[in-house]
Structures are given as C-alpha cells and as structure tokens.
Structure 1
Amino acid sequence: MRQGCNGMFIALELAAGHLDAAPGRRVALLVSADNYGTPLMDRWRMGPGYIGGDAAGALVLSKDGGFARLMSVCTTTVAEAEELHRGSEPLFPPGVTVGRRMSFAARNEQFRQQVMPRGEATAALFNIQRALMEIVERVLDESGIEARDLTRVAFMNYSEEIVEQRCMALLDLPMSRSTWDYGRTIGHCGASDQVLSLDHLLMTGQLGPGDHLLMLGTGPGVTVSGAVIRIIETPQWV
C-alpha cells in the first residue's frame, strides 16, 4: 500500500470494502513488514520520541466469523502537513535511489525551520490533532460505544510523553489503558505497531470476550487512521 506507518489501517479499510462489494469474496490476508537495518537509516535517531524496531504482522479478515469483529475503520488526510515527514527533499528521484540517508528527525527540523516561519506549521500541526479527534469520534460512533467503554488503546510505539499527550489525554483515559508499557520494549515497528499490540494483549490475557480495542495511528501524507475491534471469544491459539 506504501502508506507508511498507517499501511495496515489502509489495508483494513480497502479489504473491508473489497469483501463487502461481492458475496463471493470471503477472506483477505493483510501483511505488513518493516526493517530498518540499512546504512541509510539510524534506527536509534529515526525521529523525535521513538526508535525503530524491525517486525512483521498479519491479519486475516473474513466474512465467515472469527475471534473478533472489526466494528469500524476509517482514515482522513491532513495534506497541509505533508512536508512534516518529507522536509525539503524533492519527491523525485526517491532518496534511496541516490543513496540519501533518511531521517525523520532531520525532516521535522527542516519543517520547523522552513515552514514554521511562514506561519503555516502551527495550523498544520493543529489540524493533525483535530483530525485525530475526528477519527476517534467517528470510529466510536460507528461502533456504538464511548471512550470510557474502551478496554485498551493501541497507539504508535512512541515515548510515554507522546502517547499520553497525543492520544490518551485526548480520550481522557489513563496510561494504564494504553499499550505504551509493551511498545517501549520493542520500539516503533512501522505499520505493525497496533497489530503487535493486539497480539500481545490477547496472548497475555489483557483482552477477552466483550472487550473493545481502539487502534490509532498517523503516517506520512499526513494520514490519520483509527479502528475499533471487539473481542468475541478467546482465540484457540491463545
């Protein structure tokens, strides 16, 4: 999908629509993977508030039932913040093809120095947070629940401060309902963060029948995505 850290959300949304469009379509396999073991990237200094972890994840979306139900998934775009992750680099040719190192920390700094003086950055950053709020309201409304009904919240594997300020404070929920305590042990694993958190919560018995998990994420573009999953039964493989 090439949607960066929100790749799994985009795949979920496309797969759900694809399966719903025709009766004969029954199952979709979604896979994500990221590996930062390249000289063109420093996993320890990737960006402000996080380090990079290598991982892969997979989900099977089926119309024939399963241990959980996808209640809602949606995405929105904050196009005015596109330079936040690109910095001043040209769109073409891709940096990797010319041996250019990739650092989101450097790109964020370029955004701060070159865009913020124009008075546009503050509005763009505000719009990202507003989009996150809108996504939360939409997925909760479509799921028929409120924030207080959420058992756990899986955000991106960022620092404690970022997870609390950008996500949990927005929901008015304590950090104990986040997955930060697990995420800090593996780092930001690209598009796999929320899938890995779901698996961890199931394997450790922190999610059970009747529980709701809210997954939230942002990606270059800037895209903002969310999904709610309701646990129907304990998986046989747990």
Structure 2
Amino acid sequence: MDVCATRVLLTGFEPFAGDEANPSWPAAQRAAELLAAAPPRQLAVTTRLLPVEFGRSAELLRAAVREVRPAVVVCAGLAGGTDAVRVERVAVNLDDARIPDAAGRQPVDVPAVPGGPAAWFATLPVKAAVRAVAEAGVPVQLSASAGGFVCNHVFAALMDHLETEDDDERARGGFVHLPWASELPHPPGVPHLPLEQLAQALTAVVRAALDHTDDLRVPGGALH
C-alpha cells in the first residue's frame, strides 16, 4: 500500500437468509475501483467482506481498521425494500434481532457494545454525503436509524472503535444502507437500483468525507 496515498476502507456483507447475493459487497468492490481510478486525489482503497453475524462481524471490522489505518471508513449493508440509498446518521447501542443471524444467534435488547454510550453519531459529513449522492443522480435520503440487526451492530462497533482509538488523527466513519441491485438476484416486486448507481453512491459518500471538514448546515429532519 502506498504510504503517500489517502487510505480508505469499504466493507460489505455476505449474502444472508438464503439470498443469492448481497449488493453491498459488489457495490463496495466497484466503488473501490472507481475511487482508485479517480484523479486528482491518490487513494489506496481496501475492501473487506463481513459475515452477517453478531460479534464476529464487529471483530473483523475492528481488525481491518487496525490493519488499514484508514482516513475514511464506509460500511455498507442491504436495506431490502427501500427505494433509495440511505446515509445513516445514528448508531444505537442496541442489538434487537427480529430473526437469527447467519450463526443462529438472535440477541434481544442487549448492548451492541457493552459499557458504551446509548448511541453514536456518524463522523462522516452525512448531509454533504447525501447531497453528493443526489448530485450523482442516485435516489438518496438521510436516515436516523440503522435498525437493530447486524448492520447497526457493525455501525456501533465502528463508531466505538474510532472514538476510543488513541491516534491523533482518527478516521471518519459511517454506514450506508443500499437497496437491492437490479442486475443481481432479488425478490420479485421489490425496489432496486442499478449496481453501478449503488457503487457511485458509495463513491460519492467517500469523496464527500474527503472534501468536507465540516458538514453542511442544511435541514435534514423528517417526520418519521
């Protein structure tokens, strides 16, 4: 890895619950290609595939952050049923699984990070990221809840890890939920977007994090 390049870490998830594909992983891989090829900023982009498992996913993510020492971390996951990319604002310190994970675990009403705070805010400039994704022509919204399953578990682990690191320059991190990808197997009748658009969305989020020291001061609230 080029020590002069700005390091970026992107993660996606394995397929789960009988699904043939999880668009978060190929989208992360394609986004890595787009970022590495985009001038003028020199980027060294690393991708990691995470299992849909409580505990193990967080451990692998923390290990990847320690190894890569990135400036920006964007974790991606699937929000099947949504028709837009969702930039997550808040990681809640709560595991409340409606179904078992890939290892058969189903935690209910337990902390994602024992001893941690009730919640963490993403350190990505989320509103700037939403605008960047929209300017790329991809449907997008700012979201205040990453749910109670493994996506939120990973998001919480990431934010806790970045908050407690001893480095003088901590990475900026956050989580992005993606719809199904049009080209990949997905349930009938659900909303979907082209895989290239999902990758472009992740690319835009990373670029917003690199380009904005402070977030935009624009309204981002919603009724629900």
Relative to the length of structure 2, the TM-score reads 0.30
Higher fraction of strand: 2
Higher fraction of helix: 1
> Which structure has the larger Rg?
1
